[in-house]
Structure 1
């Protein structure tokens, strides 16, 4: 029997762990802030500030690096994407217009693309560094 099923378990574990971590990170950075700011012209902004979103993204770099550097690419990409998508859906689903689904779709596609590129860069740089070390 091949060892292929044994390699599937760490990938699935990484997906699950990163999805749960992403949900927790979303809750800590964005979940508590539901207040919209009313501008002097009557328009509304928010509920999130730029520093909150930047903090979320920077915090998620650590688990993505951890998973990608161990070659759990599926865990890095699918775990973070699933976590962000579920968190956005839950957080924004009280919108009566239904337009929140467009935002959730954009979160899903954007996080899929960004974590895919970040994982590819991490794996490439790590492979290059390993090959450089072996040549020395």
Structure 2
């Protein structure tokens, strides 16, 4: 009698590896959001009475910079699909969870859609550029 050991096929292993990368990128994205924006919940009231915030420009720039580095590294390591899926979805989910309890008007949902759309577009452009540079660099 022949003993057979079930060995996962390459596509299945690749799928599980890609799922792991998606989950890792999603976790890093949520941690990035919490580190830069999640802690700041207070609006700034100026002497003339108008409110701004809760985020400052440097916080948003930090968030975007970290996401850009994460996205570029993921694409360079051949995980473009994972980056294109994980970054917009995870960032939008983090925003939605953070913003929904404080906004009875429902406008938080509009903000989440805007964050998702902008993140998806910027991630898609970044993926295309980095994938092209990667292909040209590795083909030499």
Same fold per TM (> 0.5)? yes
Counterpart in the other structure of 2:128 = 120
Gaps of 5+ in 2: 1-7
> How far off its partner does 1:5 sit?
2.2
Pair 1:68 & 2:75 matched: yes
CA offset digits 1:5-50 (Å, max 9, x no partner): 2221222111111001000010000011111011333221100000
Q: How does 1:1-136 map to 2 (within 5 A)?
A: 3-94=10-101, 95-131=103-139, 134=140
Secondary structure of 1:114's counterpart equals helix
Distance across 1 between alignment mates of 2:68 and 2:107 = 29
Task: Say what the alpha-carbon RMSD is for the aligned residues.
Answer: 1.5
Counterpart contact for 1:30–1:53, Cα < 8 Å: yes
The gaps in structure 1 that reach 5 residues or longer are none
- Deviation readout 1:71-112 (Å, 9 max, x if unpaired): 211211111112101110011012110110000001111111
The answer on whether the counterparts of 1:67 and 1:76 sit within 8 Å (CA) in structure 2 is: yes
How many residue pairs match? The answer is 132
Whichever of the two has the greater Rg, that structure is 2
Question: Partners in 2 of 1:74 and 1:39 — Cα distance?
Answer: 44
Q: Secondary structure at the match of 2:48?
A: coil
